[in-house]
Chains A and B, each alone.
Chain A
């Protein structure tokens, strides 16, 4: 009796087992659903035969470790994070970059009439993520003797609004817009001005996943590329979807940021080589900078760090 019941159920179980093999592909984001990830939410994964689950993140989500540990097949990381990870024995590899140029910047009150990033460090308070390489570079170039360095408050503008001498690490596409909406005139100095310009919001996976499932990875990149095309052309529908998931950013800001970030995503480079394309030269520059700053002990071959798929 039992044997017959089992034989009837067995094929269903086998199918179920097979299905769980081609299980959900997890894409871990390093922040909440915002325009910086728009193309991924717009991506036609189904069309490419991929069952993708996007895992929204927040402050400090360790996407690089998640990919390394296998709790996500893909993650959004920064190029410098990726190099650090590789140097520590966590072989993560970049596939597609959202931002061709780093959107990191230092935002100050416009009324201070500062002309260069060096001026920011002459007085007042500077709120940054102190562990980031660009901060070390900034310190090396200008020194922090005259400015008080405090932890970055994330996207929170309260301290900035309360103190005219407060300078804050921001994404060019994000906090400045919010500040202007609050009626404060601001000026932003891009970090790339000091020559530090890592690829930002890089879609990455582990060497192992790439080796084991190259076709799946290729499809993933293709879908992402299509998604970003769709998002750049018309972000409205995707913005609405993301706004549902992240009501802390209002609909107008979604639209504004989506518009403001276009220049960082699509430029002559991408029009030539396709959206998300990366070059060996840029990776090599970054590797050199991290070695000089003492973040990595020795140079890593750039070809190992990314793939053009």
Chain B
């Protein structure tokens, strides 16, 4: 019953919007070659399920690999950055670079460096998703309760002890926030990487667009969104389990 209560609210707008779109396209208010009717999109998913499923698997693999890379690298980088103000001032601007660089511009560069294939797609997913991990982890580590830091100091804790027993666990809620954002971005990064490097849902979108098959484009886009949603949900689940006992914000999820 609780699951039903959680699914129903977001489902209602979805059904309403889908119905509205169907009506607008069927009624000729919106031209079908600009925006496909939802029924056409679902039909496209049905008819091309083999191709789409395989593409979806490929994109998921790349996105998750890129996301895993940015999780580990991002957290490690943030821990390093937190070690001293000088290190932070020297290197944080370069981390910001990952946030601001338009991935469409560097994806061709990634192909040149890594070649055509999944490694480029993973690299693209990584580049796009790493910054929120670094930013949120660093923020979490640096915003530790000063009283607790005093307490650790009082009992002669080494910087390593303070990092692993206090600052890092205290930062977990913010780390998860960063991971939630990064999950969706990893999917986007993978798709953009696929535009340039081939394969997966990105390739399906690119080819279908050239063929003016708007229904298939939307089908692939819809599946990509579902992928992002699934990854987001997974992070939420892990976050909920990890933080269950101690963080107030987790109780409401």
Using a CB–CB distance below 8 Å, which chain A residues touch chain B? 60, 64-65, 68-69, 81, 84-85, 88-90, 125, 129-132, 148-151, 153, 156, 158-159, 162, 295
Contacts and interface: CB of A to CB of B under 8 A. Distances in A.
B198 A150 contact: yes
B222 interface: no
B48 interface: no
A84 B195 CA distance: 22
Interface stretch (B5-13, B52-60, B137-145, B206-214): B206-214
Contact of B34 (A65, A84, A295): A65
Contacts of A64: 212
10 contacts: A68-B31, A69-B31, A85-B33, A85-B212, A88-B212, A89-B32, A130-B203, A130-B207, A131-B208, A131-B211
Q: Majority SS of interface residues in chain B?
A: helix
B42 interface: no
B3 to A, nearest CB: 41
B210 A131 contact: yes
Contacts of A60: 209
A162 B209 contact: no
B182 interface: no
Contacts of B197: 150-151
Contact of A130 (B33, B34, B112, B206): B206
B116 interface: yes
Interface of B: 31-34, 108, 111-112, 116, 195-198, 203, 206-212, 214
A interface, over-half SS: mixed
A128 to B, nearest CB: 10
A153 B111 contact: yes
Contacts of B111: 153, 159
Contacts of B207: 130-131
Contact of A88 (B33, B112, B208): B33
Contact of A84 (B203, B206, B211): B211
Given A151-B195, A151-B198, A90 B33 contact: yes
A149 B198 contact: yes
A65 B108 contact: no
Contact of B108 (A125, A131, A132, A153): A153
User: Lowest 5 CB-CB distances: which A-B pairs, in order?
Assistant: A131-B210, A131-B207, A150-B116, A90-B33, A131-B211
Given A90-B33, A153-B196, A158 B212 contact: no
B59 to A, nearest CB: 15
A208 to B, nearest CB: 12
Contact of A65 (B33, B116, B206): B33
A100 to B, nearest CB: 23
Nearest to A136: B211
A87 B112 CA distance: 38
- Looking at B112, B196, B198, B211, the one whose CB has the most chain A CB atoms below 10 A away is B211
B101 to A, nearest CB: 18
Nearest to B32: A89
Contacts of A65: 33-34
Contacts of A129: 210
A90 B112 contact: no
